[in-house]
Structure 1
Amino acid sequence: MRVLEEVKRLALELLGGLPASLYADIEEALQTAVRDDDGRDAPQLLYQNQASLWVLRQHHAAHVMRFRQNVGQGFDEFRALRIRNRGELPLGLIDESQIDFHLAGQNLAESLGGRFQPVLDQLRNRLQVVTTVLGLPPIANPVGPQRLADAFVETFTDEQIPAALRALLFGHYERELGKVLGDFYAQVNALLARNGYGAADAQPANRPAPRPRPAPPQPATGEFGAPGSGYADGHGYAGGTGAGAPGQGGGWGGGAGYGGAATGGGYDAAGQVAPGAGAPGTGAQPAGGMQSGAGAQPGTGAGTDQASPTSAELGELRQMLHAWRDGRMAQSTPASPSADIGGARRELRVDEVVSVASLLQGEPSDVFARALAGSGRLASAIRDQINDGSRRLGLDPERTRFSSDEEDAIDLVALLFDSLFQSHHLQERARRLYARLVLPFVKVALTDQNLFVQPEHPARRLLDAITEACAGNKGETPQERELLDRAAAASQRVVAEYNEDLAIFETAHAELDALLQQQRRRIELQAERAAKATFGRERLARAREQADVVLARRLAAPPLSRGIAEFLSGSWRHHLVQVLLREGADSERYRDATALGDALVDADRLAAEGRGRDLAARLLALQPAIIACLGSSGLDHSAAEHGLAVLVKGLIYPHAPRDLHEVPPGPADDDDAERGLWVAGGTDTLRFDPAMADRMRQLEPGDWLQLTDIQGEGVDAKVAWVSPLTSRRLLVNRRGMRVLVASAEELASLHAAGRLQLGCEPTAFEQAMRQVRQQLDRAVGQH
């Protein structure tokens, strides 16, 4: 299985990006074909083909992912994980274009098959040995020309592609495949040869003869001996002290070879696989788990004693974990059905716990999903499930117990997953997705301590990618639903294929991250739109403030009639705002607009003095400016003339009452309402530390903070933009949505109220681990 996974990795690495690399050459070929074609329909055909090519380019990311999935599916079928039953597929009519697609695929497969016939024959013989060792029937070559042609056809089967473009597509795909297949097949053959898979009539070197798939081991009837010594009656473990051939890697039982037994190779006297014995070809399994200095990479041989650079940090964390666990045990009832019986309980070995977890890995994870819905229940659920699985494998939980390292691994994974759900907005679907990953992560934690200290660990990167895909994702858009589906597929793949080989985490992460790149770009665009919208609101607020200052001077003196005051407060005020937004305070139009206001005030004075002739002359001169002012409010010409008539009607009575007027309130500002909800103390005087306000002024775009919103939930917020007008900071969440717009003083006030913390862990895993440390630190302090 490990060798097949390596072949799959090579296939995806060398072939996975081929569909996206074809379009530039195809476009050049289309241009060349049109230049050589003198027909009248050539431009129209070129336009149709280029339009179809443009559509393909828009879907290139989806095509690459689909092609990679189709290539990977060939390995799943080879390993009998997902074999199609062609007889159960419904029959129906297919489109003529699909027939052309399949015919083109068959021609492609035949051409490549003839070209690489010698090396393919050698590869087929080696793969036949692989199927014999696995006890599988002969299955088609997962990287043969037919499979690669089928993967390409299935990638584009839903696209409407003209015949000329389809021919170019297959032609360039065959050309690109021809460039890499020779080297690829040579690497695969060399890899199989290095692992002992030779001719079809020979068994691979250093490997046992093929056996039927083993049945579950029978429960032991004898007493347990000392840890690592096996069962007394010979039906349990093949032995923890046996020695195999030198150089074959440390066995799970402490010996070498496939299980630590000198005579069984992982099989007991009855010919069955001993519990905890390594499967043939999987290499060594570290027996120390978290106890070892650096952990051992599963499948690569025995672990080393070299200490990790952050082992001191992990050691401190484990000490806190032990103190926390001792405090919880002291609070629980001392009598327990799992108490030691006369001191006869032995510690389970790491390989035994890993074997039990592997047995349970593919089973429904509802119990973990329910535990994640509560707080602090996941660790108990993990222990209960492992104990139940141990009983099914013949390990009596009444006579065994977890070692300190195993307790640490279970508790850390449980605290990690609980913290993820407390710090991220994860929906019901995400809870079930994470529940499936609990046991695989327990296995990783048992065998590789780097999970908790190495930022680039494959399992950490996958968990970060899944959290990024699921956090705050309600599946409201097609893109969000596709992201959830891809994250679910990644978790299901880990459950189906993880067998102590971390490569599956890398593969699942690579496939999910390709889609996340598009998500990150959408988040960046969302943040940019939020910044532009905020800047627009600030410019509008600034223009309104300037217009209100100008209006207040006109309304303060002299006393004005009601009609003139209403016109100035309404249409003229709106006109000023529009001119300020579009052309600024230094423009000629702005000076004309303020001059119109002064002229209307003077016209009202002429009306009060009864100077009708001068008033008429003044209004006739102002008519174009007044109509333009009304037009900026959205009125057409006839409506503007009607508004002018209403204004004139209000000026024909010299003795109309005149008074001083206040500037009416403008429309409500959403940002003011938002700050009133967020800032500690509402709209009262802010209380903050000036030094902290200076620190807030140093925040730049890209800096992360942690906020507590008005519902008391923690929010990760990034400074996305700093206003050039007000120096306020726009904060957005991890989905690019606006969270808050606030000044440095307001942010300092939030900090003083305990609702803002500077800095934020860059990844979900690190953030969750920080919360785990804080939780343990608080618990240790209480005890």
Structure 2
Amino acid sequence: MHTDAKVVPLTKDAAEPSPISPVGRLPVALIQVRDKMALRLKQALQELFDNADDTLFEMADRSTSNVEQNAFFEAMRDMRLKRKSIERAFLHKVSESFSVLGQYDIGRAPQLDALSFDGLALVQNDELEEAVAQDAMVARVMSRDAVAIGHLTARLNVLVSKKIEDKTNPLGPRLLCEAFLDACRSLGVEIKVKLIVLKLFEKYVLSELEQLYAEANQLLVAAGVLPELKSAPVRRQQEHASPTRQAAPAEPPVGAVGSVEGSVQEVFGVLQELLSQARGTALPRRELPADAVPISNPDLLRLLSHLQQRLPQQVEGSADLRISLDQVLTRATARSGRTRVIGQVDDDVINVVSMLFEFILDDRTLPDAFKALIGRMQIPMLKVALLDKTFFSRGSHPARRLLNEIASAALGCGDRDDAQRDSLYQRIEQVVQRLLNDFDDDPVIFSDLLAEFIAYTGDERRRSELLEQRTRDAEEGRARAELARKQVEGALNQRLLGRTLPEVVVRLLREAWSKVMLLACLKHGVESDEWHAALQTMDELIWSVEPHEAPEDRSRMLGLVPGLLKSLREGLASAAFDPFSTSEFFSQLESLHVQTFQRFKRSEPVSSVGDSVVRPLLDPGSAAPMVAVVEEIVLLAPREAPAPDPEPVVVVDDEALGFVDNLRVGSWVELQEDDEHKLRCKLAAIIRPSGKFIFVNRTGMKVLEKTRTSLAVEFRRKTIHLLDDALLFDRALESVIGNLRRMKGA
């Protein structure tokens, strides 16, 4: 139904569409996996609750105070009472995670929380501790089971059209932890007890994931889904590892051999096969002399270290790297008299890394100012790949994570920022320089740099999230105030428009009583007694200054005025209206009421009391000035200029509107402001009452405000683009594999 722009709906439409379309069913193989895994998770959760009493009792027995002991005993009782509901809620969440794989979003952004006028709701220490514990649990599972999770994610992507990542895998540790935490919201326990419950979840549920992933992968292999992916044999655990033992180092030794390495080299093996098939067609075939001697891997690493130290500024592209390597090998050949070449496996690694960086340096998502910095990481990344082929397979590899973290942090930097003076740019430059100066053949440096960089970006993110939350709260509050003003305007215009009333009454209602009504609407809503009382007072005031002739009107007037004046005084005082202006209004209002009573007297027969005659109290010529309300009343917010002219009606196609409707809070976009400047900003909020899209920069400060139509127009003009915020290395690897497959078919 079309509604006029000035009409603001008070309630959500009952027919509002669901954000999830019911269309789409899960494949049979995926249903089998869901049901089997749900059974396994249920058994593990039951084991958790079976052991929770013993654990909490031991903690209570070791307590040093009665308060602490009672807390553990209360937690035991609470968990017993709510055990079944937690189990049901957890399994329901897991089932929902599978269900959405067969569904698609229809373009509605998440709703913002209601604005609190009592102050900003900052992240509390308890929530922070809970989040830290959850992240640590997830990291330990990803370190231990990254390959199995990756294979399961790859197989799920074959079965459903929705793009799935490890973090959105319904059996991934993050979604399982979130489902368990959500199911435990009803537990009335303090954070110390909740952390113990989380440890139990890790001990009895997450520790079983290795076996669970193996079974899920085997079920899909039996269904013919990517049978070529080979997983490592599962380590059978005779007993559950303690939480202390589970906190072992998160990363296995780089360059590890044996079954672990063999299980995570499938990606590189696929790349090698695609490269070999593309040689001689899309890629040139190497013609080697008969006396060619492959250079050893350690010698190649030394050559790369030489280039890394001597040519950090020049070796930024794959062509530069190849030329520099060929020059070094030519000199080595001249010295030894025998042709020195790079071995086939090492040459494949160089080719793949070169292709990855070609994609990275051409990627429009990466700001130009940061491409040169990241390009200088090519040689260190190449050395890591030569040392450890799991670099291509393991998403948790420190070198890959470092590259992804740098790219994610740089996403919000625009071309107007002074890169050389930007603190983020300087920090990334320090990271790159340390790699170039200190990385020889010990990849541990990547773990150290990753930890330091994550700590830095974590602080930056917390600051930006705080400012972003303030921006959202301010915009939501402004929208609520605007909606309330529309309600007040509507009530005023309904009663005043087209009528002729005393000028003082019109001013009183417009300038003073409108504030009382606005406050009632904001605090209590339009269904409240306070709002209806404000409307009633306005109606009584208008009636009291209109001409009346009937005798019963005089009686009503006598009974109405005292209460009316009291309501007006109390209302204006509650809205903190200027006392001087209030006194002036009441003085003029008193004169109006006196004139009204005078008219009642004149309409009655002249009567005498003794010898005196009741005479008019005021001169008839002193009647209050009247005003005709012929234009709609428009209220302005404090320090607000008159509203701009409405946007011209522009016809936009469904594709443009679809782009806007598919935007999600948190999406990054790039707006072409003019021929020279682009603005990068993140969608922070969609204000439903006003239909405004609020964008912030990477610090959380508001930089842009658009309507749905204006965004669609920008998209149609191709002046706005959605930035892909998926992991940079993963997108690059996906692109390389896709290109090689196309070369194979060429």
In the superposition, the TM-score normalised over structure 1's length comes to 0.44
Q: TM-score, normalised by structure 2?
A: 0.46
